[in-house]
A and B are shown apart, each in its own frame.
Chain A
Amino acid sequence: METPSRFQPQERTLLRSLLHSGLPFYLWVAGLGGLFLWGIRAYTVQLQEGLAATGMRDYVSWGLYITNFVFFIGISHVGALMSAILRISGAAWRRPVTRMAEAITFSSLFFGALMPIVDLGRPDRILHLLFFPRIQSPIVWDFVCIFTYLIGSTIFLYLPMIPDLALLRDERSQVRGWRHKLYSILALGWRGTPDQRGSLERAMSLMAVLIIPIAVSVHTVVSWIFGMTLRPGWNSTIFGPYFVMGALVSGAASVVVAMAAFRRFYHLEEYITLKHFRNMALLVLALDLIYIYFNIAEYLTVGYKMEEAERGLLYTLVGGEYALAFWLVQIGGLLLPALLFILPEVGAVERIRRVPLLRPRPLAAAASISLAAMVLLVTQGPTQTGVDFGSLGSSVSWAVALLLALLVISTLPALRAHRILAYVLGAGLIVIQAWLKRYLIIVPTLLNPYLPIQDPRIEWTTYIPTWVEWSITLGAMAGFALLYTLFSKLFPIVSIWETREEEPVPAIAHQARQREVEA
């Protein structure tokens, strides 16, 4: 393939998003930067006061930080999934979205690897892992795996970027100054000669094969940090594959969210079409269903035996202190997204429009009136209104529930019309679920040890994260988004040369977009 000096129309849109930024972009970066700096500020407080500045005490020694760690490492798996697995299996539709996925891997792995260091009271002692490693310790395995994966995924992000960097380097009319220098250095003098192409192909295909076992090993070892500790809830053989699957589903969902954001703000409608969203949604759906199955396998086998120590933990999760979060994860974060991915495919949903009762507007009005009546009853209470609270209250609440259920059903045809919205909503729920789920794996287990401390102080046996922990968490999330945003401004977020190889004749992309607009 020759490298043409002129860009195609859709590529010019991409180039514009790379080189020109408006006010909203600067506001976004400033906001993220501010949050990130606030996180740094909170960390300096933690360094001065020690871990006493956090809510972590004797029982809960891994709180938000390790939750973030597992979450970020989980998200990072998408690079291996999208680029390696889909590349090897030759799925052509992957091309416009692979780099988004690989960049997520890089950014999240960077912040994920920082989190255990933040969790240390004496961060300088992280070097002891290097100088005095004990090969028996899962922490050492973790260190080795994550460092290897960080380097491997950086290489894997860089390799397919070389031809694109050369394209940008050669676009002298628009790319000048430091950008030209940067691209020239990083392009390694790429001219697209057969020799160069041979070297690149060899390197890329080997890395694609290699990165898959490395990625699987990373999250398996992360799970072993839990699984090889004798604790209720972690004492499980399924933890390795359970974590890998949880990582894949959260990572793939985060790509759907990123795709929607870039499509909207960088105007990449011609690159990322409904087809890409649909394929990604199917992928996320499949992973989501497998993950639901793993969840059932995990909790059902524990609940059936109901060992003494596991009982307390399971009760806390299913009906106790963490029940709301637990069911939010299982129903709101896993089942509901599955429905959001499936329902737009079901043609029968269209028939709902023809049922006279199921009109969204009147239903919304009726539901809000009865909701208001319910709120009035609750706030006024039985003493003020003097009515029999019980029977009236329960009939009103049933009416509200019925109306809301009908309202939800009446909006289903709208899901079909706005598929991308449904997909992004589902994917967003999965990403939130992923964080909450990590919290539920870590904190309730630490609160239910096999051997409780006798007569401890209350704060030793409870966990309430402090502002320092929330600030650092927020700062890390903002830092991740900032790194990702800056990456997309420095390097093309869609692989130009790989998309060209796919031969997306602009007319075809245009037709696809037309279809979408009509839908």
Chain B
Amino acid sequence: MRRLTILFLMIGLTATGALPWTPSGHAQPNFQEPPPDPASLYAENCASCHGERGEGRVGPAFVHLDDHSDDEIYHTIAEGRPERGMPSWEARLTSEEISALVGYLRTLAAQAQPPAEEEPAPAHAAGADLRLVLTLQEDQVVAHASLRDEQGQLMAGEKVAFALRTTLGGQLSLGTFATDEEGVATLRYPAGEVPSLTLEASYPPQADDPVRAVASIDLPAGQQLPAVPTGLFSPNPPPIAILLLGLVVGGVWITYVWVAFQLLRILRVR
């Protein structure tokens, strides 16, 4: 009986913590309601990230939807893609609503396809001339990217993307900056502790084959560190700190040796 009570006690604790029903009952499917209207569902839940017509904002546009089956799209909506910021909708939408949304996305994608073709790479991008110059001002690298069209005219108000080329061939996006009235986009980047920096400017941003300009700058030894306030950390610890640490740890070990000496005395008494 005692074991039985313990068993029930444990079942009870797990069960009360994980009751499958919520008292308010709002998460339960209701079979009396008419089928959901996907357009309003989309406007309520999806449009804020993917755009009113699926043209993409924070979330991507529905341009590659044809590469995926209905099942895949269903699962993407249901489970989300947390690593890309897409939440899971399982808890908020019923399976019918998600299925209805899948169909609606297909129609949106069909409508969005033609304008999506037009959008990247404006006509004048191909012949644009992009130059990147890096200069060092105090402990910051200043990157000037100047942009001219094929006639050599300054291009103001255009967006240029900057990226940092990392050691092993990677790229770290540093964001996009608009050109001013002289056609120059400017980025300031802290010099840090590296011996040299390579930056890349590209125009237009997010195009498949943009115009690129790459520039490197060597950072002089004297300019290297003061970008980071050091706090208690320091590349060369003060000798007094090492001495103190050595005294404390050494004291402990000297005590161990003294204890060993006491053990020797016990052994010697015989």
Measured CB to CB, the residues of A under 8 A from B are 135-136, 144, 148, 151-152, 155, 159, 162, 188-191, 193, 195-196, 199-200, 202-203, 206-207, 210, 214, 327, 331-332, 336, 360-361, 364, 367-368, 371, 378, 382, 389-391, 393-394, 397-398, 400-401, 404-405, 407-408, 411, 414, 418, 454-456, 458, 461-462
B58 at the A interface (CB under 8 A): no
Contact B233 A404 (CB under 8 A): no
The B195-220 residues at the A interface (CB cut-off 8 A) are: none
Contact A203 B16 (CB under 8 A): no
Contact B237 A360 (CB under 8 A): no
Question: How far apart sit A456 and B265, CA to CA, in the bound complex (Å)?
Answer: 64
Contact A189 B266 (CB under 8 A): yes
Name the distance in Å between B132's Cβ and chain A's nearest Cβ.
21
Q: Which residues of the partner chain A approach B66 to less than 8 Å between Cβ atoms?
A: none
**Also in contact, A404 and B15, with CB within 8 A (given A200-B262, A418-B2):** yes
Residue in contact with A394 in the complex, picked from B4, B21, B173, B269, CB distance below 8 Å: B21
**Also in contact, A394 and B23, with CB within 8 A (given A151-B256, A456-B83, A458-B83):** yes
Contact B249 A155 (CB under 8 A): no
Contact B256 A195 (CB under 8 A): no
Residue in contact with A199 in the complex, picked from B234, B245, B265, CB distance below 8 Å: B265
Contact B8 A189 (CB under 8 A): no
Contact B242 A135 (CB under 8 A): yes
Contact A391 B25 (CB under 8 A): yes
B270 at the A interface (CB under 8 A): yes
Chain A residue nearest in CB terms to B259: A203
Residue in contact with A371 in the complex, picked from B6, B15, B242, CB distance below 8 Å: B15
Contact B21 A407 (CB under 8 A): no
Residue in contact with A203 in the complex, picked from B4, B8, B235, B262, CB distance below 8 Å: B262
Question: How far apart sit A207 and B2, CA to CA, in the bound complex (Å)?
Answer: 45
The B1-49 residues at the A interface (CB cut-off 8 A) are: 1-2, 4-6, 8-9, 11-13, 15-17, 19-23, 25, 28, 31
Q: Which residues of the partner chain B approach A461 to less than 8 Å between Cβ atoms?
A: 83
Residue in contact with B267 in the complex, picked from A188, A393, A405, A414, CB distance below 8 Å: A188
Name the distance in Å between A234's Cβ and chain B's nearest Cβ.
16
Name the distance in Å between A21's Cβ and chain B's nearest Cβ.
28
B111 at the A interface (CB under 8 A): no
Q: Which residues of the partner chain B approach A408 to less than 8 Å between Cβ atoms?
A: 9, 12-13
Contact A206 B21 (CB under 8 A): no
Residue in contact with B263 in the complex, picked from A136, A203, A360, A391, CB distance below 8 Å: A203
Contact A405 B233 (CB under 8 A): no
**Also in contact, A159 and B23, with CB within 8 A (given A188-B266, A193-B269, A332-B13):** no
Name the distance in Å between B37's Cβ and chain A's nearest Cβ.
23
Q: Which residues of the partner chain B approach A332 to less than 8 Å between Cβ atoms?
A: 13
Q: Which residues of the partner chain A approach B267 to less than 8 Å between Cβ atoms?
A: 188-189
Contact A136 B237 (CB under 8 A): yes
Specify the main secondary structure of chain B where it touches its partner: helix
Contact A148 B252 (CB under 8 A): yes
Contact B262 A148 (CB under 8 A): no
Name the distance in Å between B239's Cβ and chain A's nearest Cβ.
10
Chain B residue nearest in CB terms to A210: B255
**Also in contact, A199 and B262, with CB within 8 A (given A155-B256, A332-B13, A414-B5):** yes
Chain B residue nearest in CB terms to A360: B5
Q: Which residues of the partner chain A approach B233 to less than 8 Å between Cβ atoms?
A: 136
Contact A189 B270 (CB under 8 A): yes
Name the distance in Å between B248's Cβ and chain A's nearest Cβ.
9
Name the distance in Å between A191's Cβ and chain B's nearest Cβ.
7
Chain A residue nearest in CB terms to B16: A401
Q: Which residues of the partner chain A approach B11 to less than 8 Å between Cβ atoms?
A: 371, 404
3 nearest A-B residue pairs (beta carbon)? A404-B12, A203-B262, A390-B25
Question: How far apart sit A397 and B16, CA to CA, in the bound complex (Å)?
Answer: 9
Contact A397 B21 (CB under 8 A): yes
Q: Which residues of the partner chain A approach B25 to less than 8 Å between Cβ atoms?
A: 390-391, 394
Contact B28 A389 (CB under 8 A): yes
Q: Which residues of the partner chain A approach B2 to less than 8 Å between Cβ atoms?
A: 414, 418
| Residue of B1, B16, B21, B265 most packed against chain A (CB within 10 A) | B21
Residue in contact with B266 in the complex, picked from A200, A210, A360, A404, CB distance below 8 Å: A200
Contact B21 A144 (CB under 8 A): no
Name the distance in Å between A72's Cβ and chain B's nearest Cβ.
22
B172 at the A interface (CB under 8 A): yes
**Also in contact, A159 and B13, with CB within 8 A (given A152-B252, A364-B8):** no
